[in-house]
Amino acid sequence: MRTEIDLLVRASDPFANDVNLKTDVEERDWGLFLDSAFRHRVAALAGRALATAQTFEPESRHEYVQDALLAAYTLNSRRNRVLIKETARLAERFRAAGVAVAVRKGAFLAPVVYRDLGLRPMNDIDFFVERAAAKDAAAVLADEGYVPGAVDRAGDITRLTRRQEIFWSVHTNNLPTFLRAHDDPLQPTLAVDVCFNLFLPASGCDVPGEWLMADLTTHEVQGTTISAFRPEYFLLDVSAHLYKESTTLRYIEKGKHQRLLQYVDIVALVRCHPGLCWDLLLEIAKDAGAAKNVYYALAGAEALFPGAIPAEVLHALAREGGVDDKFLWQYGGIDLPQPLRWSAQTVSERLFSHERPQARSQSPV
């Protein structure tokens, strides 16, 4: 691993305050460092860590690196305040309409796990509902001015075509993205994703929504109460999502298989919940037929941040999932008769490689 990438990974650990980040400033390729930090969505985390470690001399010719990274913190803070406020508002609207929802991903992680809206970037708002409530959730969003669609190059919202609507209904585990214009120039569009299954239809995995929604935790955010999965189920969710985006062709083509932040989220969630019940995670992963999905995510997190995941948990997941030593380098298994293989030899190499996929999907979205 190049020294710049090694430094970025160590600087992205949200709870490793004592990590040694001293480096030879003059010998580093800071262009590579900045490019990787922003592409992998960990610029704010790295900026805080390097600033705390006093990596750069004041008024030195490399101080711009720290300024650029800390600018990401400021941008995250402003955008996230908008998104978290809207999350809280929509949670109240769903509650009033009798639609039970759980907040997923950044809208929970940023305020509750990272405990700092500037550290963890958000692009949209994610909710989970039971499948039977999906239409009701869509109706609430429509009443609030949201429409299913996409944002074009000009920043305008365009409705989905009939072909795209069919694709969403057949091949995905969530409703189409709902969008609404907003008056903040740094967050001109609000996007809401409503998921009703943690796994893609063709994945062979499933966990009943009522299981996930039966034991929610509650948190005070922006003056209202939000509900989220219990930590073990939330870890299952982020692991399943990471595996989907890392191994499915249509996500790989968008570069979503290369997000260090997804592994950082796992480490942050685990360290924020020292009482995590690993036996419960193993049980629900087994029942969902998703042991290999969870193994993929947790093994990657352990490779990048040694000591984060108990070895016995990884062994149990690998055994239950029937994975071999080629598993972490495979992709496209859900799209193709036989999975393809990355040329990388380590998780870090795969994550930061410029290698392109060998096959293209026919996704219309």
- Which comes out higher in pLDDT, residue 312 or 203? 312
Residue 209 domain boundaries: 3-352
Question: Whole-model pTM?
Answer: 0.94
> Of the given ranges (150-164, 209-223, 335-349), which has the lowest mean pLDDT?
150-164
Query: Residue 60: pLDDT above 90?
Result: no
In a domain, 287, yes or no: yes
In a domain, 184, yes or no: yes
In a domain, 41, yes or no: yes
Residues 68-88, mean pLDDT to the nearest whole number? 96
Give the model confidence (pLDDT) of 191-201 as tens digits: 999 999 999 88
Q: Quote the pLDDT of residue 108.
A: 96
Position 218 confidence tier, pLDDT thresholds 50, 70, 90: very high
Give the model confidence (pLDDT) of 257-267 as tens digits: 999 999 999 99
How many domains in the chain? 1
In a domain, 306, yes or no: yes
In a domain, 196, yes or no: yes
Average pLDDT for the chain: 92
Side-chain-facing half-sphere of 94: CA atoms under 13 Å: 28
